[in-house]
Amino acid sequence: MTVSIKSVTRRAIQVAFMIAAFAIIELAMPQVAHANGHKGLKAATTKFHGKVTAVSATSITLHSKKTNTDETLAVTPTTKVKVEKVAAAIGDVTVGMHAAVESADGKTADAVHAHAKKDKVKSKNK
């Protein structure tokens, strides 16, 4: 069996095109899957960080020190809440806590992760 350089080169080009085609398909699949609502892929979420300035059974308001803005998001029965990394209810979140809120639509909180502000320990180096 003789293998010519021409056939090896042709085969290498075919393999390269197949790899490129699979790479393009792989890059496109998350968008297609997301558009079709397949589970297992993370939807694009917006995260809000800040100090809790108001909280009720139906909403939470955060103040971002970084942007000096307030953001109010609706809270629903499906909103997952954690306080100090432990599952909790929205009623366990209090004004003055710091929180990160995840939202798929920018209006409704999908998850709230709240914690008490930790005091910074000042080091005395002499």
The pLDDT tens digits of the residues spanning 86-114 come to 999 999 999 999 999 999 999 999 999 99
Question: With 60 as the cut, is the pLDDT of residue 123 above it?
Answer: no
Phi then psi for 66, rounded to 5 degrees?
-65, -45
Question: With 50 as the cut, is the pLDDT of residue 35 above it?
Answer: no
Report the alpha-carbon distance of residue 37 to residue 23 in Å, rounded.
22
Please tell me the least confidently modeled range out of 18-22, 55-59, 75-79: 18-22
Report the alpha-carbon distance of residue 12 to residue 10 in Å, rounded.
5
**H or E element that contains 33:** helix 5-35
pLDDT of residue 121: 53
Report the 10 Å Cβ neighbour count for 98: 16
The confidence band for 40, taking pLDDT boundaries of 50, 70 and 90, is: very low
Report the alpha-carbon distance of residue 34 to residue 41 in Å, rounded.
7
Question: With 80 as the cut, is the pLDDT of residue 25 above it?
Answer: no
pLDDT of residue 32: 45
Q: What is the pTM of this model?
A: 0.61
Q: Domain segments of the chain: what residues?
A: 1-41, 46-115
CATH superfamily of 46-115: Nucleic acid-binding proteins (2.40.50.140)
Residue 44, both tokens: 């694009």
Report the alpha-carbon distance of residue 56 to residue 52 in Å, rounded.
11
